[in-house]
Amino acid sequence: MSNSPRDPSQPHLHERPVPPRISFALEQAGVHPLLARLLAARGVRAADELDDSLARLLPPDSLAGSAQAGALLADAVQQRLRVCVVADYDCDGATACAVALRGLALLGAAADTLHYVVPDRAVHGYGLTPAIVDLARATRPDLLVTVDNGIASHAGVAAARAAGMRVLITDHHLPALVDGVVSLPAADVIVNPNQPCCGFESKALAGVGVMFYVLLAARAELRRRGAFDAAAQPRLDTLLDLVALGTVADVVKLDANNRRLVAQGLKRVRSGRMQPGLAALFRAAGRDPARAAAFDFGFALGPRINAAGRLADMTLGIECLRTDDPGRASELATQLDAINRERREVEAGMRERAEAALEGLMPDSEQAPPAVALFDESFHEGVVGIVAGRVKDRLHRPTFVFARGADGRLKGSGRSIPGFHLRDALDLMAKRHPGLLLRFGGHAMAAGCTLGEPGLECFDEALRRVASEWLDAATLTRTLRTDGPLAVEWFNAETVALLDAQVWGQGFEAPLFCDEVQVLQQRLVGDKHLKLRLRHAGHERDAIWFGHVEPLPASTRLAFRVSLDEWNGRQRVQMVVEAAG
């Protein structure tokens, strides 16, 4: 969305504090001086935290339920039980499904015993519902395994068990609360780092990460039973490219354990050891896997997988990730790329209509309300989450965007800001307004819900009330944390390569530098990007500000990243501007 007079002012630029002793200790341990400063500012306290080897992963037996889940899957493999994986329609769910199927095959499960179903967003809704159980029954499963869903699926679990199926839930979402008490479905086994009494240190494990850990536990159980010895055990690390993709695409916090999972996946991709589907997606996105970064998972591959669940059928995404046929993978990746282009067109139209709706919310330069809820009859249910994120980024307000589902009900997706736990807000709203929410769930920063009879007006008022109670002026002010100036000696291609080699992401943000510059030249390119020639620290620099069209003053302070711009075979370092202030 373009900026307008009613847009919030540019964010406050706040430099991250750097613990000097930690930075010095990291440097003394051999870490590059610039990198030592950046890592210390992000909470790294010792050089051994940078060890991304598999041996440093948190042990599977610390994940509650993993041993029991491992035994359940070991039984399934050895007794040739029929397994049906119940997937989800986002990238985390798709990668988790592919990891489950590939992993069980590696552990010895016969191909004709492995099946999966994935809900249609518009028809079935989210998670293990009774309708999905009916769909799964066609595969005659002995065991249902949910991935990235199921923790709140009481009715679905009951239906599955009544039909004679055993149920293993693998999930990472927050469980439901009933009268303030955690309520878990009556599954045979539940593995979720966010369930009560689970001591697993990484509460940010993605759904695909949970499934990977369950497979590690199953391998350990099969090894204990003598199915193979340690020297000849199946190589589950071959799945880490998929684990990395799902982890980054789901925007979970990249704590130390998740960074190790992603780092291992990136190493495989950069060396060409990846699933055919990932290789095909890199080609479709025009990205070089030899130079892969977490950014590629989050902004190139992830959206192409997600597009299938938003506008078509996530079966396309899952099949792309699980096929071993490069030709088939290429066909599917091409289809996913086309669907993603369609998604962009749908999103662009929705953003225009959302912009028009915002004009009515903020007349005459009025400040944005503490929270925002938008609806239009033309909105597409599969894209509401993306648009909610765009509006949230523009206004720095918790935002829900609703579309009318196939059943006629309003279904919304929300995105939040730091300091406002979205799922907890929905829980409070449901208590205050019985009947308002038919279903809801999610995380602190992202959540979804289906509205009951009280409708959108009641939801909007209830959301604003909670936001007014929980948020203050400081929280409602967007703050962008920077890493201060980038010294002249580090403004080079070697620094860009050094930074690109690291794992950055949610909760471990990529470096963002900030410094004073003089604007020498500026012009629009493509009618929507500001191309700049700057003087920075006595040197002339090229810069670009994507999606920004307003001219800059002659002297200003910019927050920027550094990247390599390639043109006609030549490389040069450029500044990618994020904000001015």
What is the token pair recorded at 177?
A: 């609360």
Same domain, 263 and 151: yes
Same domain, 455 and 503: no
Identify the residue whose tokens are 């990932």: 278
How many angstroms separate the CA atoms of 87 and 57, rounded? 25
Contacts with 470 (C-beta within 8 Å, 6 or more apart), sequence order: 419, 420, 425
CATH classification of the domain holding 447: 3.10.310.30
Do residues 301 and 278 lie in contact, with contact meaning Cβ atoms separated by under 8 Å?
yes
In this structure, the strands spanning 437-442 and 410-415 are unpaired
Closest to 171 measured CA to CA, from 147, 154, 203: 147
Is the residue at 508 inside a domain? yes
Rg of the chain over Cα atoms, rounded to whole angstroms, equals 24
Do residues 552 and 575 lie in contact, with contact meaning Cβ atoms separated by under 8 Å?
no
Closest to 498 measured CA to CA, from 99, 14, 38: 38
Other Cβ atoms less than 10 A from the Cβ of 507: the count is: 15
Same domain, 87 and 120: yes
How many angstroms separate the CA atoms of 292 and 287, rounded? 8
What is the token pair recorded at 336?
A: 């996913």
Same domain, 419 and 537: no
DSSP 133-190: HHHHGGG--SEEEEES--TT-HHHHHHHHHTT-EEEEE--SPPEEETTEEE----SEE
- Residue burial 340-364, b: 16+ Cβ < 10 Å; e: rest: beebeebbebbbeebeebbeebbee
How many angstroms separate the CA atoms of 76 and 244, rounded? 27
Same domain, 227 and 118: yes
How many angstroms separate the CA atoms of 91 and 440, rounded? 20
Domain that holds residue 254: 64-275
Same domain, 121 and 263: yes
User: Tens-of-pLDDT digits for all 581 residues of the chain?
Assistant: 433 433 454 688 999 999 999 999 999 999 999 999 999 999 999 999 999 999 999 999 999 999 999 999 999 999 999 999 999 999 999 999 999 999 999 999 999 999 999 998 777 878 899 999 999 999 999 999 999 999 999 999 999 999 999 999 999 998 987 777 889 999 999 999 999 999 999 999 999 999 999 999 999 999 999 999 888 999 999 999 999 999 999 999 999 999 999 999 999 999 999 999 999 999 999 999 999 999 999 999 999 999 999 999 999 999 999 999 999 999 999 999 999 999 999 999 999 999 999 888 776 556 889 999 999 999 999 999 999 999 999 899 999 999 999 889 999 999 999 999 999 999 999 999 999 999 998 888 999 999 998 899 999 999 999 999 999 999 999 999 999 999 999 999 999 999 999 999 999 999 999 999 999 999 999 888 999 999 999 999 999 999 899 999 999 999 999 999 877 778 899 999 999 98
**Torsion angle (degrees, nearest 10) of CA 258, 264, 265, 269:** 150
End position of a domain, from candidates 405, 439, 470:
470
Same domain, 261 and 198: yes
Give phi and psi for 350, each to the nearest 5: -65, -35
Contacts with 154 (C-beta within 8 Å, 6 or more apart), sequence order: 176, 183, 185, 186
Q: Give the CA count within 13 Å in the CB-facing half-sphere of 137.
A: 13
Q: Is 531 helix (H, G, I), strand (E, B) or coil?
A: strand
Is the residue at 321 inside a domain? no
CATH classification of the domain holding 18: 2.40.50.460
How many angstroms separate the CA atoms of 221 and 23, rounded? 42
Residue 249, burial from CB neighbour count under 10 angstroms (0-12, 13-18, 19+): buried
Strands (E), 362-406: 372-375, 399-404
Residue 376, burial from CB neighbour count under 10 angstroms (0-12, 13-18, 19+): middle
Tell me which amino acid residue 564 is.
L
What is the token pair recorded at 318?
A: 């899952």
End position of a domain, from candidates 422, 442, 470:
470
- Please tell me the total count of domains within the chain: 3
Could you tell me the pTM of the whole model?
Answer: 0.92
End position of a domain, from candidates 444, 470, 496:
470
How many angstroms separate the CA atoms of 195 and 173, rounded? 9
CATH classification of the domain holding 93: 3.90.1640.30
